[in-house]
Amino acid sequence: MKSRSWRARSTRPWTGWKRRCWATCSTTPAPGTPAAPSAPPRTAPARDWSRPSPWPRRTGHNRSTTGTPYQCPRKVSRPRGTGPMMRWAVVGTVSAAVALGVAPAAVAGGACEVGIADTKVYEGTKEGAKVKMVFTVTATPGCTGAVGFRTVDAGGEGWASTPADYEAVDTVLQVVDGKAEQAQVWVVPDQATEPDEKVQVQLHDGKGLTVARPDAVGTILDDEGLVLEPHGGRIYWDVDRQYVEVPAGINAIARVPITARFRTADGTAVGGTHYVPVPDGVITFAEGADGAVVRVPLLPGAAADPGAYFVVEVFDPSAGTVGTPRVVVPVTP
């Protein structure tokens, strides 16, 4: 006769070891046992653990395999919302949000926000060469959407006007994964000496985004009278370090970074023999500085010809004008 399964055995009446277990672990009557209010709670007899168990050795589902009395299962408490079904629900929600391009902040109950910051730029003096004023637009990481960007002609004293000072803009900026397109306004340069002027810009009509900071101001800095030039009288060289430094300066502190281009030209020194030629380099004057350095690498041939020199020319500044554009640079003391 085949042994019945554990499911069949588990349906036996509450007798024997099951009743003893219930009496040990619970103070309520076992199923099928009439209530006895006047009787004291049933307890298991004291056990001398040094002696062999009087209970038979049992195997199978919910039975001891060590010969010790059966230990009733204890209910394991778990904080609400931490069970396996809840974990799968959270994973499914986040996965769906990522697939749909929704920002994690929005999934967590936050908002996808976008804002714009103030900026400033020199007006420029080169006629016909417009200057790009760039505004920084930031959005919540992971957010995707779109937002309108436009200039607002505020009018009045101290405010720039279009089209004399800048070109009006009304466009839409795309935001993908928290990164926005560049917001820019083209400034029209002139040679007139005038006070600084301001441009009002605005973000509006966010789609999938909340506009947290809609307004910003761009300041057009007047650069008339700003002069940049290399200093031929303060040239430094060091053959051991194999380069020559040519300092350049401006006659005022830079209110924003200023760039200029430079190039080298042969004199009695020859590019490729005495020095490394630079056909088109960039020199940068940092904000708050009034000087910068042009560095040109030297070659071993420079030490062999002490009278050799080459020329450094500075041109095309982003602000102001160039005073003395060319300077002679000796390759040795």
Per-residue pLDDT reduced to its tens digit, 72-102: 555 555 555 555 555 544 444 444 443 334 4
So what's the pLDDT on residue 126? Answer: 73
Residues near 259 by Cβ (< 8 Å), separated by ≥ 6? 282, 283, 284, 285, 317, 318
Q: Of 2.40.50.1070, 2.130.10.10, 2.60.40.2030, 3.40.50.2300, which CATH number belongs to 113-221?
A: 2.60.40.2030
Residues near 151 by Cβ (< 8 Å), separated by ≥ 6? 162, 166, 168, 169, 170, 185, 199, 200, 201, 202
So what's the pLDDT on residue 287? Answer: 95
Residues near 307 by Cβ (< 8 Å), separated by ≥ 6? 268, 330, 332
With a cut of 50, list the residues of the chain below it in pLDDT.
1, 6-8, 10, 59-61, 63-65, 70, 88-109
So what's the pLDDT on residue 240? Answer: 65
Instruction: Give the chain's length.
Output: 333
User: CATH 2.60.40.2030 occupies which residues in the chain?
Assistant: 113-221, 227-330
- The CATH architecture of the domain made up of 227-330 is Sandwich (2.60)
So what's the pLDDT on residue 94? Answer: 40
Quick one: residue 22, left, alpha or beta (phi over 0 = left, psi -120 to 50 = alpha)? alpha
Q: How far apart are CA 183 and CA 173, in angstroms?
A: 7
Q: Which residues pair with 298 in a beta bridge?
A: 275
Measured in degrees and rounded to the nearest 5, phi and psi for residue 323 equal: -75, -85
pTM of the model: 0.62
So what's the pLDDT on residue 45? Answer: 60
